[in-house]
Structure 1
Amino acid sequence: MGEKFLTHYQVLGLARTATERDVKIAYRKAAKIAHPDRGGDPAVFRQITEAYETLVDPAKRHAYDKSYASGRPAAAPAAGSAHAQAREGYRGSYGSPGRAGFAQGPGFSTRRTSGPRPTAGDPAIYLPAYESLAPGETPLMPRPAAAQPVHGAPRKRGLFGASSRLAREARTAQLVMQQVLPGIPAARLINGLTAPHGAGYVDHVLVSGYRMAVIGSMLVPNGAFRWDGSTLVHGSKVVAPPQLIPATRAFQELFPECNVTAWVCVHSNTGNLFEPVIDYARGTAPDGSSTVNVANAARFTREVKHFLAAGPSPNAVDLSILDRLLGGMY
């Protein structure tokens, strides 16, 4: 948790919307400071060069964005250099997510800080704060985009069942927008992401603070169901939920600062949020403690809100996390 990971955009101090010309200018400025011939740190210079070689090549940059811009450990720049000062300023404003209500130094500390613990209903704060930027410094992403609660839309894919899948995903997205987002100002819903573990897509990702929900949905017939931890059982029929575990594990590896779990919203064809009725085997209740949590629409919204609100700094919009998620949309 204490080790800072930087994306190529952060290494060069660029927004994801930077042009090729912006990349070249940023590289020249950074290279002048970090070049070993000028007393710079070789590790930092290698990091800057790798960032430039990736972002200046359109094909490499597209592939990098689709990989959710996986960060690398930040190299330790030479003390007193402009690059070091900028890096330390970023760390100071960004901090370490850690555990809400506890002090965070270079490592993990359990010393309780003063002041009330932030709640999910508090106004959203941005990390790093836009107000902390130096004059002329480029933010990780434009503030209007960071303030937008919903990004993207259900994506049409495949030839068969496309209309029913789009309708189901739209119902889930609408449910989140109506029942979850109004109560958690920092929550951000991203729809139609590319799958981080291979081919395909992820329906939705919902993030607030340092908790992330990977969301899928399914439509089932009327009746009572039982969830045994891996399948829904309806009478003598077994209904498998969407396969979200690979994507959830991949997101957890990509975003180690977050607690990532999968959620399946089960819709009935009646439109009643409390249907279908689902009985749960011992230890499989959808409370966020399982890798996959399955619930009808009413319980889904209640449990997801609790899951997000119980996390550290639930009122924080981490710009690094959000920016990388948006980069993985297309």
Structure 2
Amino acid sequence: MASQDRTYYAVLGVSRGATAKEIKDAYRRAARSAHPDHGGSSELFHDVAVAYEMLSDPERRRRYDRTLGVEDPLPHARPAPSGRRPRPTPVDTFAQPARYEPSYSTGVEPALPLVIAGIQVHGTARQPGTLARLRRGSGARYDGERATARLLEAQLLPGFPAARLVNGLSFGGGVDVGHAVLAGYRIAVIDSLQAPPGNYSWDGHHLRHRGRPAGDVRIRNSVRRVQDLFPECNVRAWLVLHGRPDNPFEPIIDYPPSLDRSALVSVHVANAGSLLREVRGFLAEGPQPDTVQVPVLARLLRAAAH
């Protein structure tokens, strides 16, 4: 955290006995005010996101409370009664059957019908129009998006029931995104390219191929736009380079040692093999990865319908 004597409860402005709903409400307020575009800073926004991830998960919160010297378990941290199934560990929570938030059993009008929210794949890659085809790299992007959609459908979604893949999104103002993967309170934003062979380097701002500029990486602007539109979520971006189809770990991408890959709205450049590992890890380590946030999914689907 930004200060060693400041607890995660203080970051969100709640008491140690706060309920799960109070923590969620406090996080949404804090995330909006802490966002750099709303007068906050990347450091403060990161603190808020980390605090929510710790306190929204009962098991993580119980372990954290022990570090604060809380001897008598708080109501939120009491162990489950004998005979109840133990809570899955954070490692395998993402593999559990999908839960929906809010629940469809509450009687409240849902943002999406269950038959829609229950589908894991929505939308298709956007085929460039006549004018778009004249732009340099448009064909490589379209072919890359189709390859990424096939990759995610075949190798990420089957083992991740709550993950929702939305393809071909447009958020206005020229901000287009190839794919968004939602799980819990995290969104992975992904763009794609069919890449010629050779080594690549990425310094967080510029992509180079064999030492020469490899084109503009538009996803750097897109991820900031998505984070602004979804302040309740932690958004991270990837640009995946598809090389030889028989080797998902080509091409090779080099990073300078000084690059902070955990920074706010950071962009990762990856090959197909590392993309799966990194995206799965990012989504699975977030709060409630076995949950489909139905209102967030509904807003993503509206962006895919344009």
Match of 2:179? 204
Cα offset for 1:234?
A: 2.8
Deviations 1:8-65 (A, max 9, x none): xxxxxxxxxxxxxxxxxxxxxxxxxxxxxxxxxxxxxxxxxxxxxxxxxxxxxxxxxx
Percent identity reads 38
SS at match of 2:109: coil
Q: How many equivalent residue pairs?
A: 231
Question: Do the aligned residues in 1 keep the contact of 2:121 with 2:164 (CA within 8 Å)?
Answer: yes
> Which is strand-richer, 1 or 2?
1
Q: Who is 1:100 aligned against? A: 57
Q: Give the aligned partner of residue 120 of structure 2.
A: 149
Q: Which of 9, 12, 25 is equivalent to 1:2? A: 25
1:247 counterpart (200, 217, 222):
222
- The more displaced of 278-287 and 139-148 is 278-287
Counterparts of 2:157 and 2:263 in 1: how far apart (Å)? 18
What is the alpha-carbon distance in structure 2 between the residues aligned to residue 290 and residue 138 of structure 1? 33
Q: How many angstroms apart in 1 are the aligned matches of 2:202 and 2:27?
A: 39
Q: What per-residue deviation string (whole Å, max 9, x for no partner) do you get for residues 188-219 of structure 1?
A: 010111135x1242111111000101110122
* Structure 2 residue 243 is matched with structure 1 residue 268: yes
After the TM superposition, which residues 63-212 of structure 1 pair with which residues of structure 2 at under 5 Å, given as runs? 99-101=56-58, 113=77, 114=79, 116=87, 117=89, 119-133=93-107, 137-157=108-128, 158-160=132-134, 162-196=138-172, 198-212=173-187
Query: What is the 5 A alignment of 1:290-301?
Result: 291-301=266-276
1:216 has 2:191 as partner: yes
Q: In structure 2, what residue type is equivalent to 1:141?
A: L
Contact 1:264–1:292 (CA under 8 A) maintained in structure 2: yes
CA distance in 1, matches of 2:140, 2:207: 20
Moved more, 259-268 or 246-255: 246-255
What are the Cα deviations for residues 89-119 of structure 1, in whole angstroms up to 9, with x where unaligned? Answer: xxxxxxx986322799xxxxx9663463561
1:132 is displaced (CA, Å) by 2.0
Contact kept, 8 Å, 1:220 with 1:266, in 2: the verdict is yes
CA change 1:223–1:201 in 2 (3 A) is same
CA shift for structure 1 position 237: 1.4
Work out whether residues 140 and 193 of structure 2, in 8 Å CA contact, stay in contact via their aligned partners in 1: no
Aligned counterpart, 1:78? none
C-alpha separation in 2, matches of 1:289 and 1:326: 24
**Alpha carbons of structure 1 residues 286 and 272: separation in structure 2 relative to 1, 3 Å:** farther
User: d(CA) in 2 for partners of 1:294 and 1:213?
Assistant: 13
Cα distance, 1:244 vs structure 2: 1.2
* Residue type at the aligned position of 2:58: G
Whether contact under 8 Å (2:193, 2:241) holds in the other structure is yes
Alignment gaps of 5+ in structure 1:
6-95, 105-109
| Whole-Å separation in 2 of the counterparts to 1:296 and 1:317 | 27
| SS of the residue 2:25 aligns to | coil
CA distance change for structure 1 residues 129 and 242 in 2, over 3 Å: closer, same or farther?
same
TM-score, normalised relative to structure 1: 0.63
In 2: Cα distance, 1:220 partner to 1:147 partner: 34
Measure the CA separation in 2 of the matches of 1:249 and 1:163: 25
Match of 1:20 in 2: none
**What is the CA distance between 1:225 and its match in structure 2?**
2.2
For residues 210-254 of structure 1, what are the alpha-carbon distances to aligned partners after superposition, in whole Å with 9 as ceiling and x for unaligned? 010111012222122222222233333121453112221121122
Q: Deviations over 1:161-188 (max 9, x none)?
A: 6544322110011111112111211000
CA contact (8 A) 1:227 1:284 kept: no
Is the Cα contact below 8 Å between 1:286 and 1:294 reproduced in 2? Answer: no
Give SS of 2:218's match: coil
d(CA) in 1 for partners of 2:176 and 2:152?
Answer: 19
How far is the alpha carbon of 1:283 from its aligned partner? Answer: 4.2
Tell me how far apart the structure 2 counterparts of residues 121 and 286 of structure 1 sit (CA, whole Å): 26
Q: Distance in 2 between matches of 1:287 and 1:300?
A: 15
What is the distance in 1 between the residues matched to 2:192 and 2:133? 19
Aligned to 1:60: none
Give how far 1:3 is off.
5.5
* Structure 2 SS opposite 1:217: strand
Cα distance change on mapping 1:280 and 1:165 into 2, 3 Å: closer
Larger Rg: 1
Q: Structure 2 vs 1, CA of residues 236 and 228 (structure 1 numbering), >3 Å: closer, same or farther?
A: same
Distance change in 2, residues 1:314/1:177 (3 Å): same
Alpha-carbon distance between aligned partners in 2 of 1:194 and 1:295, rounded to the nearest angstrom: 23
Question: Partner letter of residue 181 of structure 1?
Answer: L
Give yes or no for contact 2:141–2:194 (8 Å, CA) kept in 1. no
